[in-house]
């Protein structure tokens, strides 16, 4: 045998059962007669028609299982990215020090400050969603008004009037 045929034979011997059967029965027009004959010879070395069918089924199951594992890993990565995004979102929303969150001594309840924004319902919902990921269940929310004194300015220049500041708190209970 010449060197090219030996290399072809080695290459064909390294193919999977699925690749061999595809080569012989599905894509035979894409290969030379020598390659097809070597592939058939390799298939017969590996077993009879029934055993080849069983091997093909096993090969397909193996590929299917590998695909399921790959999909599961990808889903876990997506979930981790979502959780990381929620955590980053939580840090952006609160922008407060840990002392500003009040948690009872048994860690059953938690009070989180809520700074009103242009879109109060979506901001409140975002806080509830973020805390739910961490195992906290929404209980209630409260608002309070605080009078913020104005300033007299300098000889009345730059004076600001008193203003009302809305303060909100969101109450959570451990699930």
Q: What is the pLDDT of residues 118-148, one digit of tens each?
A: 677 888 888 888 888 888 899 888 877 778 8
Domain presence at residue 1: no
pTM for the predicted model, two decimal places: 0.36
Residue 11 lies inside a defined structural domain of this protein: no
Domain that holds residue 126: 97-174
In a domain, 107, yes or no: yes
Task: Tell me, yes or no, whether 135 lies in a domain.
Answer: yes
d(CA 171, CA 102): 9
E strands present in the chain: 102-103, 109-114, 136-148, 163-174
What's the whole-number mean pLDDT along residues 80-97?
Answer: 63
Instruction: Please return the burial class of 84, using the count of CB atoms within 10 Å of its CB with bins 0-12, 13-18 and 19+.
Output: exposed
How many domains in the chain?
A: 1
Residue 171: burial class (beta carbons within 10 Å; 0-12, 13-18, 19+)? middle
């Amino acid at each position: 045998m010449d060197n090219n045929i030996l290399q072809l034979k080695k290459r064909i011997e390294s193919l999977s059962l699925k690749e061999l059967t595809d080569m012989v029965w599905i894509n035979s027009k894409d290969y030379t007669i020598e390659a097809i004959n070597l592939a058939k010879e390799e298939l017969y070395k590996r077993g009879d028609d029934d055993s080849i069918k069983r091997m093909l089924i096993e090969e397909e199951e193996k590929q299917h299982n590998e695909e399921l594992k790959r999909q599961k890993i990808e889903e876990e990565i997506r979930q981790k990215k979502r959780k990381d995004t929620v955590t980053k979102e939580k840090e952006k929303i609160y922008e407060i020090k840990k002392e500003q969150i009040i948690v009872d001594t048994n860690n059953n309840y938690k009070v989180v400050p809520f700074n009103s924004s242009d879109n109060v319902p979506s901001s409140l919902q975002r806080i509830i969603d973020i805390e739910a990921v961490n195992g906290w269940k929404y209980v209630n929310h409260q608002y309070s008004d605080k009078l913020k004194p104005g300033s007299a300015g300098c000889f009345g220049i730059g004076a600001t009037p008193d203003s009302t500041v809305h303060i909100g708190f969101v109450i959570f209970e451990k699930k």
